[in-house]
């Protein structure tokens, strides 16, 4: 785990004290709201429909038990007893008082957490694979580079007032679980022919009102050049990115309007001027940070746990949980456990303070004190012995945390939508709940198999609907909520933007429409092995259109 040093501590404490003073001056009237708003946003504090909302950073989604307990404590003491885990692997509290926020930030600083750069036109939390450092299919831990990027981008003086926000994601496995191609910069760790580590670099991906898949700008960027090249991209964006229209201010628009080749030349020219300088990544620094992320000392265990296998034979629910919520680990006898925050009929990504405490306890007892937040709004215990899975499952089940639906249709992403968000046009959570209830039956969900359903309550696309195999976008049509369906989106290594299938559906009809889409897939798939997305890519949208709107 990365060691928070005295510089981090002093810096965060200074920022909390500054913010405390800013809040005091706002309350006394020394600062107007116009003056205060950018200051509070720099500290992750928004004003939403019902109250303020505080977004707390969880760098690359990695946290430990004491940090999770602190989040539980904040939820219980300063909020309404729950938190909401987000697609940026962060956590949001929906009801804090302005007057309490300095104290909340002090408490977070006690466990080496903060809310810096979770908002505003700066480089946001770098996201990564939730199974980083654990996955069997990974060849390098992406968190090492995510941490290097975090240190470089934290309060980088040149990049605090970018044309718009800037998001970076990194993955270290072939299977992209971090949606890197829909980020401003997407990094895929790779090796060259000489076995050296480097990155495939994508630029200009993004969702929102103009969804775009990132363009590959480098097949192999040497590890040593990571920061110099990132700085070159940011510098070109900062110089040429549009500031006249916030809807055209992201780097994806710059790529589109300038043209990839010209922009690549600009980046390479800037890189030439930047490289071999202060931003060269010293090998000893990479080694040092690698040590922070050294895996726990795993025991030598058999590949298959007889305890788990016996328990699975006794308990079909455990067998089902194991088939969906366990991910192959690089150490034999270990697994990564996905804790679904998608109970049937629940709000995706929400966890109560009590549940957070339970999860922290489990992480400490059975998971080497490590937890992850996934961009799909679940939590993960990355390192659990297979033999401990029955006990972990039992504890999770007793706390309503053992839904065996990882990757299934009820494991959907949904933004907070109009129930909380000041930007939303339509509600997301009730739609998610209704669909979840419709597909509640375990057998049916498993028969459908892997399916990513993603719901956004407005075009800003926090719910990633563009890259859902089935995407749902809520819009406002003359005061009524209307839901558009997109099909064929994907956020993995074969990223694609979903296509709008036709006219939207009112709230009362959208769940039926989703069911029609799913039934059409089931009726047309080649066999059980053909997933929804594969079937859609083979069939095109016509069968789905016919089923939804008539031939």
Partner 1 sequence: MKTITANRLVDGDVVWLGHNGEWVEFVEAAWILNTDEDMTSALDFAKAGEDKQYVLGTYAIDLELKDGHLQPKSLKERIRAQGPTTRLDLGKQAERHLRSA
* Residues at the contact surface with partner 1, assessed by CB under 8 A: 26-29, 33, 47-52, 80, 95-99, 347, 418-420, 424, 427, 429-430, 433, 476, 479, 481
Query: Nearest distance from residue 410's CB to partner 1, in Å?
Result: 16
Residue 43 burial by Cβ neighbours in a 10 Å radius (0-12, 13-18, 19+):
buried
Rounded-to-integer distance, Cα 158 and Cα 154, Å: 11
Q: Which is nearer to partner 1, 345 or 540 (CB)?
A: 345
Provide, rounded to whole angstroms, the least separation between the CB of residue 183 and partner 1.
Answer: 30
Task: Assess contact for 472 and 426: CB atoms under 8 A.
Answer: no
∠ CA 317-319-324, rounded to 5°:
95
Q: Closer to partner 1 by CB, 326 or 482: give it.
A: 482
Beta carbon of residue 21, minimum distance to partner 1 (angstroms, whole number): 16
How crowded is residue 123: how many other Cβ atoms within 10 Å of its Cβ?
A: 25
Query: At its nearest, how many Å lie between partner 1 and the CB of residue 511?
Result: 15
Pick 98 or 136: Cβ nearer partner 1: 98
Q: Other C-beta atoms within 10 Å of 268: how many?
A: 15
Alpha-carbon gap, residue 184 to 188, rounded angstroms: 13
Pick the closer one to partner 1 by CB: 251 or 418. Answer: 418
Beta carbon of residue 427, minimum distance to partner 1 (angstroms, whole number): 6
Nearer to partner 1, 253 or 432 (CB): 432
In 3-state terms, what secondary structure has residue 527?
coil
* Beta carbon nearer to partner 1, 266 or 403: 403
Burial 12-24 (b: 16+ CB within 10 A, else e): beebbeebeebbe
Q: Which residues contact 190 (CB under 8 A, 6 or more apart)?
A: 197, 198, 199, 200, 220
Question: What minimum distance in Å lies between the beta carbon of 80 and partner 1?
Answer: 6
Burial of 529 (0-12, 13-18, 19+ CB in 10 A): exposed
Closest distance of CB 156 from partner 1, Å: 30
Assess contact for 495 and 205: CB atoms under 8 A.
yes
Q: Which is nearer to partner 1, 58 or 453 (CB)?
A: 453
CB of 97 to partner 1, least distance (A): 4
**Which of 16, 429 has the CB closer to partner 1?**
429
* Spatial CA neighbour of 170 closest among 235, 221, 136: 221
End-to-end CA distance of the chain: 57
């Amino acid at each position: 785990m990365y060691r928070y040093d005295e510089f981090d501590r002093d810096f965060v404490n200074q920022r909390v004290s500054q913010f405390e003073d800013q809040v005091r001056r706002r309350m006394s009237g020394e600062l107007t709201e116009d003056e205060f708003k950018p200051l509070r946003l720099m500290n992750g504090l928004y004003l939403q429909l019902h109250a303020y909302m505080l977004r707390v950073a969880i760098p690359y989604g990695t946290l430990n038990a004491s940090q999770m307990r602190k989040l539980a404590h904040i939820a219980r003491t300063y909020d309404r007893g729950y938190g909401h885990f987000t697609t940026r692997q962060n956590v949001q509290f929906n009801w804090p008082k302005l007057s309490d926020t300095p104290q909340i930030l002090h408490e977070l600083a006690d466990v080496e957490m903060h809310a810096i750069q979770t908002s505003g036109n700066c480089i946001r939390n770098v996201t990564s694979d939730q199974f980083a450092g654990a996955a069997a299919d990974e060849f390098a831990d992406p968190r090492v580079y995510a941490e290097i990027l975090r240190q470089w981008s934290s309060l980088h003086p040149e990049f605090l007032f970018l044309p718009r926000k800037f998001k970076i994601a990194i993955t270290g496995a072939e299977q992209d679980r971090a949606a890197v191609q829909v980020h401003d910069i997407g990094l895929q760790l790779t090796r060259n022919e000489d076995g050296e580590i480097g990155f495939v670099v994508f630029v200009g991906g993004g969702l929102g009102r103009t969804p775009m898949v990132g363009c590959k700008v480098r097949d192999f960027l040497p590890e040593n050049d990571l920061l110099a090249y990132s700085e070159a991209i940011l510098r070109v964006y900062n110089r040429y990115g549009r500031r006249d229209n916030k809807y055209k201010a992201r780097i994806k628009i710059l790529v589109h309007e300038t043209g990839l080749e010209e922009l690549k030349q600009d980046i390479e020219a800037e890189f030439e001027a930047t490289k071999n300088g202060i931003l060269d990544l010293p090998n000893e620094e990479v080694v040092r940070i690698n040590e922070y992320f050294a895996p726990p000392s795993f025991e030598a265990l058999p590949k298959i746990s007889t305890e788990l296998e016996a328990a699975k034979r006794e308990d079909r629910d455990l067998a089902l949980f194991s088939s969906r919520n366990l991910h192959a680990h690089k150490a034999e006898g270990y697994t990564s456990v996905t804790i679904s925050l998608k109970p049937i009929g629940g709000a995706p990504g929400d966890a109560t303070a009590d549940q957070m405490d339970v999860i922290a306890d489990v992480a400490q007892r059975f998971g080497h004190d490590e937890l992850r937040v996934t961009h799909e709004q679940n939590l993960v215990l990355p390192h659990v012995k297979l033999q401990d899975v029955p006990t972990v499952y039992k504890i999770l089940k007793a706390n309503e945390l053992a839904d065996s639906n990882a990757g299934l249709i009820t494991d959907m992403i949904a933004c907070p939508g109009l129930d909380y968000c000041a930007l939303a046009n339509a509600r997301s959570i009730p739609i998610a709940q209704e669909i979840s209830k419709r597909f509640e039956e375990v057998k049916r969900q498993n028969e459908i198999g892997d399916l990513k359903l993603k719901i956004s309550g407005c075009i800003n696309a926090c719910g990633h609907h563009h890259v859902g195999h089935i995407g749902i976008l809520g819009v406002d049509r003359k005061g009524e909520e209307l839901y558009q369906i997109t099909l064929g989106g994907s956020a993995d290594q074969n990223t694609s933007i979903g296509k709008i299938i036709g006219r939207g559906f009112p709230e009362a009809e959208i769940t039926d429409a989703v069911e029609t889409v799913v039934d059409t897939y089931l009726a047309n798939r080649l066999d059980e092995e053909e997933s929804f997305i594969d079937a859609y890519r083979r069939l095109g949208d016509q069968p789905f259109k016919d089923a939804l709107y008539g031939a």
